[in-house]
Amino acid sequence: MSETQAEITAEIQSIEAADAGKGLEQPRRDYPPYRSSLLRHPTKSLVHADPESIELWAPCFGHQDVGAAEADLTIQHSGEPLGERMVVAGRITDGGGRPVAHQLVEIWQANAGGRYIHKRDQHPAPLDPNFTGAGRCLTDADGRYRFQTIKPGPYPWRNHLNAWRPAHIHFSLFGREFTQRLVTQMYFPGDPLFPLDPIFQSVTDPASRELMIATYDHDLTTPEYATGYRWDIVLTGSHRTPMEDV
């Protein structure tokens, strides 16, 4: 871990310049500035497959799987967690614009001090006894989700010297079909760490990176209680025909 931020930033900028105009919507799996990716990305081309029966469908989840209270990360303990209480809400559609209805959304995140409740997180920031940082919900018939949580803090990691992650919330999403599965991260507007972070920058197309950033939405802000952020999510397109959709 001897590289400086300046060296990592130079690598980030050079790859972005080489990818300019390619319109890559997804992150590069081969992205050396994120050092942990070096031995963990395929070097052979992905093989094109036409989805077969099972891949045209996604797993179903229902109210037996997810309790209504699991969407509120601020009520999981006896006291109020520390930090800025916030709501994040949005709508999930697939690449055909169809709402992803009654489907599972899972989130996890650091606390307000930038600390995860995970045994491998060694960041010397305090744990919050009133905050775990994991939640679930089901989307409604129109594909809408809503969580109440605490705004996570940025935190250091060991990719390089003085590496810091911009504040983010991890999202796990299922679509209407197996091939739409997505795990991603939601970021907050205007974070000064964006240009420095190799995970955020593994998406080398600037317009695509914008899609990972939530919007502050005053209409979602609750008077005297919580700030509001809106983040809509678009999964990949559908392969199932309407005839199969019964």
Partner 1 sequence: MTTPGQTVGPFFHYALPYEGGGDLVPPGRAGAIRLHGHVYDGAGDPVPDALLELWQADPGGQVPQVGGSLRRDGWTFTGFGRAETDAAGHYSFTTLMPGGTSPFFAVTVFARGLTHRLFTRIYPPSARSEADPFLAGLEPERRDTLVATPDEHGLVFDVHLQGDNETVFLTFPGHR
Tell which positions 20-79 bind partner 1, by CB under 8 A: 23-29, 31, 34, 36-44, 46-66
Please pick, from the candidates 15, 116, 131, 228, the single residue that binds partner 1 as defined by CB under 8 A: 116
> DSSP characters for 136-190?
EEE--TTSEEEEEEEPPPPEEESSSTTEEEPPEEEEEE--SSGGG-EEEEEE-TT
One of 146, 170, 230, 239 is an active-site residue; which one?
170
Tell me: does residue 181 bind partner 1 (CB under 8 A): yes
Q: Is 98 a catalytic residue?
A: no
Q: Residue 85 in contact with residue 74, Cβ under 8 Å?
A: yes
Q: Interaction with partner 1 in 80-99: which residues (CB under 8 A)?
A: 95
Q: Residue 205 in contact with residue 24, Cβ under 8 Å?
A: yes
Tell me: does residue 1 bind partner 1 (CB under 8 A): no
As a whole number of angstroms, the distance between CA 105 and CA 219 comes to 22
- Contact residues for 103 (Cβ-Cβ < 8 A; gap 6+): 58, 61, 92, 138, 139, 143, 173, 174, 175, 176
Residue 22 or 218 having the CB closest to partner 1: 22
Q: Is 187 a catalytic residue?
A: no
CB of 41 to partner 1, least distance (A): 6
Residue 62 or 124 having the CB closest to partner 1: 62
| Nearest Cα to Cα of residue 170 among 183, 157, 155, 185 | 185
Residue 76 DSSP SS3: coil
CB of 223 to partner 1, least distance (A): 30
Tell me: does residue 237 bind partner 1 (CB under 8 A): yes
Q: Is 170 a catalytic residue?
A: yes
Tell me: does residue 144 bind partner 1 (CB under 8 A): no
Q: Residue 135 in contact with residue 86, Cβ under 8 Å?
A: no
Q: Is 155 a catalytic residue?
A: yes
Q: Mark the segment that binds partner 1 (CB under 8 A) among 3-11, 12-20, 145-153, 196-204.
A: 196-204
Please pick, from the candidates 101, 125, 182, 193, the single residue that binds partner 1 as defined by CB under 8 A: 182
Known catalytic residues? 116, 155, 165, 168, 170
